[in-house]
Amino acid sequence: MIVLLPPSETKAAGGTGEPLTTAGLGYPGLAVARSRALAALDRLVAEGQDVSTPAKARAAADNAAVRTSATMPAIERYTGVLFDALDAASLAPDARAWLDSHVVVQSALLGFLRASDRIPVYKVSEHTKLPGERMRELWSGAGSVIEGFALDLRSKAYASLAPVAGAVPVEIVSPDGKALNHWNKAGKGALVRSLAAARVVADSADALVAWAASSDVPLERTDAGLRLTVQDPRLVAAR
């Protein structure tokens, strides 16, 4: 089973790893697309980026240093609601190992990344205009590197950017059946944490639902994929 996660706009600073080497990243089939994306980012930096606010100036500096700055595992680099709920740093070693084997984060700059892939801070999203490249052309075929049963927790934007054939999407809803917006990220993070803690092995959506039923996790099949019910505002799995 592969669990597909979206990236986040916010990222942890720093790191202790050596600078980025694309040869060390998972999914080597994406090497050409990654090289094109990084070359386009180099052009963006050379042309000059918007530094009109402190935040934009920091983002510009991060992009300028993307090839030389320190790295850290992707699952630690990304922050925000989903990754805070997942809280990979607090997992037991065997649960963390499960993340490294099963979780994949989709980056607009580097494509699909294993949780353990070491990456720098960068500021590139699916909306970034990279000189000489189009995001959809860069990543439209990237989904072919994902094999086997894939649980898709990505946003619609990222799922559209790099479609993965057969990936099973998960809808996050409140106990009264209403779709959640911002808070659905916390539900996704909590689900992945539960999967990691249990070191779930599942080769299909039905197998995953069977595990959920035995573990009191409110995950069920729908015509479109799967549905997870979470409490709002407590943002924990409904019991």
pLDDT on residue 189: 94
DSSP conformation class of 230: B
pLDDT number for residue 28: 97
Phi and psi angles of residue 208, each rounded to the nearest 5 degrees, phi first: -70, -40
CB 7 within 8 A of CB 77: no
Q: What is the pTM of this model?
A: 0.94
Percentage above 90 pLDDT, the chain:
90
> Exposed, middle or buried: residue 19 (CB in 10 Å: 0-12, 13-18, 19+)?
middle
Q: Which amino acid is at 68?
A: T
Q: State the pLDDT at residue 235.
A: 42
The helix/strand/coil state of 30 is helix
* Range list of H helices, 92-201: 93-102, 135-139, 156-161, 184-198
Condensed to tens digits (0 to 9), the pLDDT of residues 34-43 reads 999 999 999 9
Return the structure tokens found at 233. Answer: 């505002």
Mean pLDDT of 168-193: 88
Q: Is the pLDDT of residue 112 over 50?
A: yes
Sketch the domain layout of the chain as residue ranges. Answer: 2-229
Residue 95: pLDDT above 70?
A: yes
* pLDDT over 90 at 93, yes or no: yes
> Per residue in 41-59, pLDDT tens?
999 999 999 999 999 999 9
| Cβ within 8 Å of residue 34, ≥6 positions away | 22, 25, 109, 110, 111
- Taking 80 as the threshold, does the pLDDT of residue 182 lie above it? no
The mean pLDDT value for 47-72 works out to 96
Q: Would you place residue 232 in the very low, low, confident or very high pLDDT band (cuts 50, 70, 90)?
A: low
The token duo for 14 is 């720093």
In one-letter notation, the amino acid at residue 143 is G
Q: Determine the angle formed by the axes of helices 93-102 and 184-198, rounding to 10 degrees.
A: 110
Whether omega for the bond prior to residue 233 falls within 30 degrees of 0, making it cis, is yes
230 against 100, higher pLDDT: 100
Range 122-142 average pLDDT: 96
Mean pLDDT value across residues 86-109: 97
Nearest to 105 by CA among 127, 91, 88: 88
What pLDDT score was predicted for residue 236?
46
Report pLDDT for 61.
96
